[in-house]
């Protein structure tokens, strides 16, 4: 199976079973709680956009010549990072957002030095390290390095596949989606050096495939999505207690819809996520218990 085919099958955030317009996906809330970065696929290439948390002020920031993925924020909410890929080479970019003219301030000289043959990457919250998976989608190693590529250290073996990394708020731990040789997918947690690795989720097949971990601001809870594949497919957002592994479905539904890619607000009381419940993939927000859902983009 090719890397692209595997990604399409296993990472439901990358392709919904039923084709719907992917107007706004992969939302991530800024640490100051004022903005949300997301990816729009309305144009030929996927573009990173920024909106205020009310959805009233939206504008693109990444260059239109490249398809952007996996946006994230710096701790001071002034910089957005995202990835692009060409063949088997993944690149991590940094883009300063001092004002709403963000789309005009990007230059090649602002590109981060880090490059690697990788399948997924995530910058640490302090901006000093990057975690990425090196290898193919079904078997790779989770690696941690400085952003300039130095100090590269593999923190797992290559007996499984790793993707969707998420650093804990204090950068001491990493949550990651892990898929084994039998295609069993669970979310794992480990120290940033790879020690004390453990499965956080133990989902049965009927509960779907857990993935896309997002740490709560206090580090006590991880929000995930879990996808049940089929025609059509469904996905739910769950909250998992880091200490006990207790999981709670906060978007229970029986209709075939996708609720995916959760991101916490800094107050720990709300989540942003992507959903196709309105007929197209859009950014939504809700209370952390799943109540008060609101569509942010259209």
Do 291 and 285 meet the contact criterion of CB atoms below 8 Å apart?
A: no
DSSP 233-264: -EEEEEEEETTT--EEESS--SSS-BEEEEEE
The partner residues of 122 in beta bridges, in order of sequence, read: 131
The total number of structural domains that make up the chain: 1
Cβ partners under 8 Å of residue 162, min gap 6: 120, 133, 140, 141, 142, 156, 176, 177, 178
**Interior CA angle at 33 toward 65 and 209, to 5°?**
70
The model's pTM? 0.89
Most confident of 16-20, 105-109, 173-177, 227-231: 173-177
What is the pLDDT, as a whole number, of residue 135?
85
What is the pLDDT, as a whole number, of residue 3?
38
Q: State the Cα–Cα distance between residues 203 and 210, nearest whole angstrom.
A: 7
Q: State the Cα–Cα distance between residues 232 and 257, nearest whole angstrom.
A: 8
Residue with tokens 């809870």: 221
| Least confident among 172-186, 202-216, 226-240, 275-289 | 226-240
Domain of residue 83, CATH code: 2.120.10.30
Q: Is residue 38 part of a domain?
A: yes
What is the pLDDT, as a whole number, of residue 61?
85
What is the pLDDT, as a whole number, of residue 14?
39
Q: Is residue 98 part of a domain?
A: yes
Residue with tokens 């130095």: 150
SS3 102: helix
Residue with tokens 């939504």: 284
pLDDT tens column, 84-123 = 877 666 778 888 886 544 333 223 334 444 555 567 889 9
Q: Is residue 291 part of a domain?
A: no
Flag whether pLDDT at 34 surpasses 80. Answer: yes
Residue with tokens 């990072």: 81
Do 272 and 285 meet the contact criterion of CB atoms below 8 Å apart?
A: yes
Q: What percent of the chain has pLDDT over 70?
A: 85
Residue with tokens 């959805």: 55
Q: Is residue 60 part of a domain?
A: yes
CA distance from start to end of the chain = 35
pLDDT tens column, 47-90 = 999 999 999 889 888 888 778 889 999 999 998 988 887 766 67
Average pLDDT value for residue range 143-160: 90
Q: State the Cα–Cα distance between residues 24 and 134, nearest whole angstrom.
A: 28
Q: Is residue 272 part of a domain?
A: no
* Domain span at 82: 1-112
Q: Is residue 9 part of a domain?
A: yes
What is the pLDDT, as a whole number, of residue 242?
98
Q: Is residue 47 part of a domain?
A: yes
Q: State the Cα–Cα distance between residues 87 and 135, nearest whole angstrom.
A: 13
| Dihedral sign, Cα of residue 172, residue 118, residue 37, residue 252 | negative
Q: State the Cα–Cα distance between residues 282 and 260, nearest whole angstrom.
A: 10
Most confident of 3-17, 142-156, 170-184: 170-184
Q: Is residue 267 part of a domain?
A: no
């Amino acid at each position: 199976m090719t890397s692209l085919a595997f990604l399409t099958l296993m990472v439901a955030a990358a392709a919904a079973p039923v084709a719907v317009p992917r107007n706004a996906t992969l939302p991530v809330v800024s640490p100051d709680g004022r903005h949300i970065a997301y990816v729009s696929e309305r144009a030929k290439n996927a573009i990173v956009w920024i909106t205020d948390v009310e959805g009233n002020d939206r504008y693109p920031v990444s260059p239109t010549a490249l398809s952007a993925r996996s946006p994230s924020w710096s701790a001071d909410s002034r910089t957005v990072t995202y990835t692009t890929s060409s063949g088997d080479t993944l690149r991590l970019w940094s883009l300063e957002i001092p004002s709403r003219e963000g789309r005009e301030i990007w230059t090649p000289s602002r590109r981060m030095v880090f490059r690697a043959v990788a399948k997924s990457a995530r910058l640490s919250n302090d901006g000093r390290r990057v975690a990425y998976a090196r290898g193919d989608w079904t078997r790779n190693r989770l690696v941690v390095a400085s952003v300039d590529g130095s100090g590269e250290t593999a923190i797992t073996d290559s007996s499984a596949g790793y993707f969707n990394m998420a650093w804990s708020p204090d950068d001491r731990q990493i949550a990651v989606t892990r898929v084994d040789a039998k295609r069993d997918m669970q979310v794992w947690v480990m120290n940033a050096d790879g020690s004390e690795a453990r499965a956080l989720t133990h989902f049965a097949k009927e509960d779907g495939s857990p993935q896309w971990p997002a740490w709560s601001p206090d580090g006590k809870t991880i929000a995930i999505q879990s996808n049940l594949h089929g025609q059509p497919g469904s996905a739910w957002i769950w909250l998992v207690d880091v200490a006990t592994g207790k999981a709670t479905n906060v978007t229970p539904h029986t209709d075939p819809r996708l609720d995916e890619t959760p991101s916490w607000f800094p107050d720990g009381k709300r989540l942003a996520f992507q959903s196709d419940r309105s007929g197209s993939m859009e950014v939504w927000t809700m209370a952390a218990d799943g109540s008060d859902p609101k569509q942010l983009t259209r």
